[in-house]
Chains A and B, each alone.
Chain A
Amino acid sequence: MTVEDWFRHDRLPHIFCAGCGNGSIINSTLEAVDSLNWKVDETVFVSGIGCSSRAPGYIVTDSLHTTHGRALAFATGVKMANHDLNVVVFTGDGDLSAIGGNHFIHACRRNIDLTVICMNNQIYGMTGGQGSPCTPTGALSTTTPYGMDEPAFDLCDLATAAGANFVSRWTSYHVRELTRSIKLGLQKPGLSFIEVMVQCPTNYGRRNRLRDVEAMVSKMRDHALLKEKYDRLVAERKPIPEGSFVVGTLTDRNLPALGVRR
């Protein structure tokens, strides 16, 4: 099979806005899945509610489009009912960290053999641009018209602290690295959490002086700081550039996992 064969061609073109990076992440995921030669009948994509959660509707495999924030709860059920299925969860930042926060930390604690791909667009994109827990400080949204005055949630630190086996962060610009990282996550027994920073030109960029896609993507590219470089800067006690976020494989360990194929 090729990547093209994993799409439901009668559903394309999809409903994502022009310039939305969710499609790139679907491409990367399907490329990783395809390179592992998984079968269509043994793969399940699960999602909650939101822009990101439209993704399994465009993929040819069996999929579950569940209630808001409960994608991980449903995925846990699927995996525990049949250990032989490969379960991948697509979720967004509001879905995962705000409404489904409790499910997320307990899925990490149980270390179930799932792959969670979080498309973090830093805002509630589908419902009209409300501030989410991942909206950076100072950013404008419809519910924070004077700028967000709360600090943002670091989902990768949360997943590491709660006990996930594989945690990495990339952006939708770094597609090759993202594909490689998703492939490592899919192969890893236990919960693999991949956070992808993604541009939302319609609802985030429009309100934050990043009107076109190129401005948003180049901002993500310029502020991504590799994990190796971050470690070197910390060891040399040099200042870390302001506004940057760490990308790369942040955690890779082998804690005992639940629901691994026997």
Chain B
Amino acid sequence: MKLVIDDVRCKGCNLCVMVCPYHIFQEGRRPNRRGVFVPELDRPERCTNCRLSQLYKRRLCGVCQTICPDQAIKWVPEAKHEPHKVVIEY
């Protein structure tokens, strides 16, 4: 799973920065097109839910998603790694 902030909904309140136990969310430094300082993600692969939700088949932690007043944080499933043939040209 992959952690995503929807920058259309985010209003830059930085509540997620406050609650994340891994400090994945960092305060945004650069305003986006609408003038909102959307938080930046610092190594989001450390997130508990990203790592283990597939294994446990349920949402783990998820405090950032519940506390986000603007419903901007979500997890999207990542495409599985598919081995593909490599054609070697001589």
Question: Is B15 touching A14 in the complex (CB atoms < 8 A)?
Answer: no
Known A4-B74, A18-B13; judge A23-B69 contact (CB<8 A): yes
Measured in the bound complex, the distance between the Cα atoms of B11 and A213 in whole Å is: 12
Among B8, B12, B66, B71, contact of A18 (Cβ-Cβ < 8 Å): B12
- The answer, among A27, A28, A214, A218, for a CB contact under 8 Å with B71, is A27
Which single residue of chain A is at the shortest CB-CB distance from B66?
A: A175
B68 touches A214 (CB 8 A): no
Which chain A residues in 2-60 approach chain B with CB under 8 Å?
4, 7, 12-14, 16-24, 27-28, 31
A111-B22 Cα distance, complex, nearest whole Å: 44
Chain A residues with Cβ under 8 A from B67's Cβ?
Answer: 24, 27, 172-173, 175
From 194 to 242 in chain A, residues with beta carbon under 8 angstroms from any chain B beta carbon are 213-214, 217-218
A213 close to B15 (CB less than 8 A):
yes
If the complex has contacts A22-B69, A23-B69, are A176 and B63 also in contact, measured as CB distance less than 8 A? yes
* CB contact under 8 A between A176 and B66, given known A13-B8, A18-B12: yes
B14 interfacial by beta-carbon distance below 8 Å:
yes
B interface: dominant SS? loop
Residues of B within 8 A of A181 (CB): none
**B66 contacts A213, CB within 8 Å?**
no
The reply to whether B69 and A16 form a contact with Cβ atoms under 8 Å apart is: yes
Q: Which of B9, B15, B63 has the most CB of A within 10 A?
A: B15
Which residues 37-87 of A sit at the B interface, judged by CB distance below 8 A?
none
Nearest-Cβ distance from residue A170 to partner chain B, whole angstroms: 12
A13, B70: Cβ atoms closer than 8 Å: yes
What are the residues of chain B within 8 A of A31 when measuring CB–CB? 66
A:101-136 near B, CB below 8 Å: none
- Residues of chain B within 8 A (CB-CB) of A173 are 19, 67
Q: In the bound complex, how far is the Cα of B13 from the Cα of A7, in angstroms? A: 21
Cβ of A179 under 8 Å from chain B? yes
Which residues on the B side are within 8 Å of A22 (C-beta)?
Answer: 69
- List 5 additional A-B contacts (Cβ < 8 Å) besides A13-B8, A176-B63, A214-B14: A12-B9, A14-B70, A17-B11, A19-B13, A20-B69
9 tightest CB-CB pairs across the interface, nearest first?
A: A23-B69, A18-B11, A19-B13, A175-B66, A13-B9, A18-B13, A27-B66, A24-B67, A175-B67
- Give B residues with C-beta under 8 Å from A: 8-9, 11-15, 18-19, 36, 63, 65-72, 74
Q: List 29 A-B contacts (CB under 8 A).
A: A7-B71, A13-B8, A13-B70, A13-B72, A16-B70, A17-B11, A18-B11, A18-B13, A18-B36, A19-B11, A19-B14, A19-B69, A20-B13, A20-B69, A22-B69, A23-B70, A23-B71, A24-B68, A24-B69, A27-B65, A27-B67, A27-B71, A172-B67, A173-B67, A175-B67, A179-B66, A213-B15, A214-B14, A218-B18
